[in-house]
Structures are given as structure tokens and as C-alpha cells.
Amino acid sequence: MDHFLYRDGVLYAEDVPVAEIAAQVGTPFYVYSSATLLRHFRLFDEALAGMDHLVCFAMKSLSNQAILHLLAEAGAGMDVVSGGEYARAVAAGVPSDRIVFSGVGKTRIEMRQALQGGIRQFNVESEPEMHALSAVAVELGKIAPITIRVNPDVDAKTHAKIATGKSENKFGVPISRAREVYALAASLPGLEVIGIDVHIGSQLTDLAPFEAAYLKVAELTEQLRADGHTIKRLDLGGGLGIPYQQINEAPPSPQDYGALIKRTVGHLGCEIEIEPGRLISGNAGLMVSKVIYVKDGADRQFLIIDGAMNDLIRPAMYDAHHDIVPVVQPAPGADQATYDIVGPICESGDTFAKGRSMAQVGPDDLVAFRSAGAYGAVMASEYNSRPLIPEVLVHRDQFAVIRARPTFDEMIARDIIPVWV
Ligand SMILES: *Cc1c(COP(=O)(O)O)cnc(C)c1O
């Protein structure tokens, strides 16, 4: 459920007509619903009730300061994957003991930054990383709390680019070698082993791969404890999928997921951490765009809109589907049309949908991409010198621009011409 619904024939974001935002900020833009963000965060929080737990928002899915602040106020921690994300989390007021550092290629600079600023734990992914982190910690006179990310060799059955839990993926240490790697960690002076981490992929629409992975983690917990390690925290990653099509899709709910966690690892007495991104932010955002032209091709109609692949790259990069709906609700029985929906960029990859049936629209009509809150704005670029599009946050009948569209001058001013050119 989200808070983007038709009311009196027009699309609303909570209690604000989407067209009113478009009139004020111009198109294209992203708009997020605070009620949806908070609702999704709380669903996870409640699903783990009764267990000692922390829900760390995977902020790579949506990292605007306003969003981080909103979720942190509600009690969320943050899962960060770069020094930039760490800085963003701290700037948004997230307490450092609620920040978890993930990622396969942390640099020593990033390690130093997080150790000095404070960190809940590092999720370490390799032996070379362990050596580096231990050395940095010793240098600073600190001890780095760590979990080790294990790769359980489980097929997440999701898009190849976002599957991370198979042995051929670059992530984590093979679970078969975990005991040896934990032994090494225990021997390094700058590290304190506190738990296990696992994350098998994104947009999982079935609980079975989670179950397979978490059962392996449960077994490993007991083995590692028998080996003398302290395993008091399990970071179970993110990855729960969302419905991108309103019809025919019903991925498992956070409640089902929480019940699965209790069933598989609940008996171990560990503190549970999860790192959902997409499920919190995905359906909390729209990208709103305007039709420029309707063009007749040889055998099809093109709907050319002012949003493009640089603004929302998921269709081009992951063959992702977004429902695209007119902002003015089509009357019952309104004429339908079939479009290839495309942006203005000179690449055929700049295609959002092919052969999409929808109510007929015309030039200057607004269309909204649903489920665009996650991996939308954060993956945007200024390709074709199209300025990053604004982000807007709605709360009931109020809305605020939370990132403004740069002017052309601001965009150009970031470049520097050396005197010798
Ligand atoms: C991407 C990622 C997540 C979040 O994945 P979602 O599918 O957005 O829930 C969580 N943890 C790690 C380590 C990740 O890389």
C-alpha cells in the first residue's frame, strides 16, 4: 500500500495533487511520501518485535538528507556502503552506533573516517580487508567491531545484476571457508568479532532463498561458537522485493519475513539486524514527467517524455518495469493506446517501456512512474547535460523541495578550465 492515489479524478501524493507540485517545481521530478516511508520502516520494526533488533535502512536506495532524518527520527539505523554515505548519515543526525558499514571495497580512508566518527560495526568481506582494517584500527588505538559477510552460495532467483549470494559473485567469503576466516579475524589485534553478516541479493520475491541462507547462518553460528567466537549479532541483509506491477504481483510481506527470521535464527539469542532498502523506499516515490510529443513511427507510436534514462536508469540497466500512469485519472471507458515510452536521449536504451498499453495521453500531459523511490534519484546522472532532477517530500497536505534542480549555470560552474587551455 502507498499514498499515491487518485482522488476526484487526479493523482495525489498524500493530500497534495501531483499536478500542483509539477506546476511549482517543473518536470521531471521525484516525489516521496513520508507516510509511506515511515509505514514501511515500521512494518519491519514490528515484524521483528520480541527480538532484540535494529532496522538499518540501506541508504544507497535513497539517500537525501530529509529522508535519512525522517527515518532516523523514527528509530532507523543506516547501512552505508561508502565514505560519502557515512558522511551523509552523520550529517542527517544518525547516531554513529546505529551506522553499519557494508561493501566489498572499503578503503583505508573510509575505515579511518568511520573508526574516528564512530561505527556500530563493519561488515567485512575478505581477508585482505580484515588485515587492512586491523592495521588502521591499531594505528588509531581503536578496536573495530566486525561481522564477516559470508557467501552462502544460495541462488536468490533475481536479476543477475543484483544477485549477490552465489559463489561466483564478488561478495563475502565462501561459507565453506568461514571457520578459517573467523580464526584469522580472532588473531588480528585491531578487530573484535561480534557476529555474522549475509546479504544474498535484491528484489527477492520469494522467501525460500532467505530461508536457505538463514538456516546456513544458524548452523554456522553454532559452529563458530563451538570454536570459541562470540557471535552475538546477526546481520541478515536486505533484499525483500516489492510489487512493481500493481496487478499480479504479491511478494512476501515484512511480517512473513519477520516470522521467517524468528523461525530460522530466533533461538540463537542473537541481536538481529536487517538492511532493507527497496522495500522501505521503492513504493514511497514517483517520478513525474511530462509528455513532449506523441510520434508516429512506422509500426508503433512513441510517447516522448521529458524524463530520460539519466533520471531513472532502472529500465535501461535492469530491464525493470515501472507502472506508468496518467496524472489525470482516465475516465471509465477512455480510449486506450499502445506506446513505446521513451526519453529524449540519443540512445535506443533510453526506453522506459515497449508496447505499453495505457490510457491515451497527449502533449503536456503529466505521467507518473510508480515505484520509483528506490534506486531512482540516487542513480541519476547529468548525461546529455540534463541537470539532476529535483526531489520533493510530501507530508499530508504539505510539500517541500528537498533537493532543488541545479540551474544550467550551477551545473557548468562545477567545471574548471585550466589557465593553460
Ligand atoms: C543493496 C544492499 C542492501 C539493500 O538491498 P534492498 O534490495 O534495497 O533491500 C542491503 N545490504 C547490502 C549489503 C546491500 O548491498
Q: What is the pLDDT of residues 326-369, one digit of tens each?
A: 999 999 999 999 999 999 999 999 999 999 999 999 999 999 99
What backbone torsions phi and psi does residue 179 show, to the nearest 5 degrees? Answer: -60, -40
230 lies in the same domain as 301? no
Mean pLDDT computed over 122-149: 98
- Nearest CA to 264 among 215, 201, 315, 316? 215
Q: How confident is the model at residue 258 (pLDDT cuts 50, 70, 90)?
A: very high
- Among 254, 279, 304, the domain boundary falls at 279
The share of the chain scoring above pLDDT 70, in percent, equals: 100
Lowest mean pLDDT among 38-52, 122-136, 156-170, 288-302: 156-170
> Which cell numbers in the block locate residue 42?
515500521
Mean pLDDT computed over 62-83: 98
The share of the chain scoring above pLDDT 90, in percent, equals: 94
What pLDDT score was predicted for residue 363? Answer: 98
| Structural domain harbouring 339 | 4-31+282-412
Closest approach atom of ligand 1 to CA 61: 8
Task: Give CA separation, 311 vs 153, 164, 243, 388, 392, in Å.
Answer: 34, 25, 21, 7, 14
Is any ligand 1 atom within 6 A of the Cβ of residue 275? yes
What is the rounded distance in angstroms from the CA atom of residue 407 to the CA atom of residue 88?
Answer: 23
Mean pLDDT computed over 282-304: 97
- Can you say whether residue 325 is alpha, beta or left, with left for phi > 0 and alpha for psi between -120 and 50 degrees? beta
Q: What is the CATH number of the domain that holds 16?
A: 2.40.37.10
Q: For residue 233, which amino acid is it?
A: R
- Among 262, 279, 296, the domain boundary falls at 279
Is any ligand 1 atom within 6 A of the Cβ of residue 278? yes
- pLDDT one-digit tens code per residue, 89-135: 999 999 999 999 999 999 999 999 999 999 999 999 999 999 999 99
| Total number of domains constituting the chain | 2
Residue that the C-alpha cell 541508504 belongs to = 59
Closest approach atom of ligand 1 to CA 279: 9
How many angstroms separate the alpha carbon of residue 278 from the centre of ligand 1? Answer: 8
Closest approach atom of ligand 1 to CA 275: 10
Task: Give CA separation, 244 vs 92, 124, 189, 372, in Å.
Answer: 29, 32, 47, 9
Is the pLDDT confidence value at 307 over 70?
Answer: yes
Mean pLDDT of the chain: 96
259 lies in the same domain as 314? no
Is the pLDDT confidence value at 402 over 90?
Answer: yes
Is any ligand 1 atom within 6 A of the Cβ of residue 58? yes
> Which cell numbers in the block locate residue 37?
516511508
Mean pLDDT computed over 309-334: 96
300 lies in the same domain as 360? yes
272 lies in the same domain as 287? no
Is the pLDDT confidence value at 370 over 70?
Answer: yes
Whether residue 346 lies in the annotated active site: yes
- Nearest CA to 17 among 392, 417, 406, 403? 392
Is the pLDDT confidence value at 248 over 90?
Answer: no
Q: Is residue 225 part of a domain?
A: yes
Q: Is residue 421 part of a domain?
A: no
Is the pLDDT confidence value at 70 over 90?
Answer: yes
Specify whether the CB–CB gap between 237 and 214 falls below 8 A.
no
Testing ligand 1's pocket by substitution, the residue of 44, 54, 60 carrying the most ligand atoms inside 8 A of its CB is 60
Active-site option among 346, 416, 419, 421: 346
Mean pLDDT computed over 232-246: 95
List b or e across 24-36, with b for residues whose CB sees 16 or more CB atoms inside 10 angstroms: ebebbbbbbbbbb
What is the rounded distance in angstroms from the CA atom of residue 366 to the CA atom of residue 351?
Answer: 17
Q: How confident is the model at residue 59 (pLDDT cuts 50, 70, 90)?
A: very high
Is the pLDDT confidence value at 1 over 70?
Answer: no
129 lies in the same domain as 182? yes
Is the pLDDT confidence value at 170 over 90?
Answer: no
Q: What is the CATH number of the domain that holds 187?
A: 3.20.20.10
pTM for this model (two decimals): 0.97
59 lies in the same domain as 200? yes
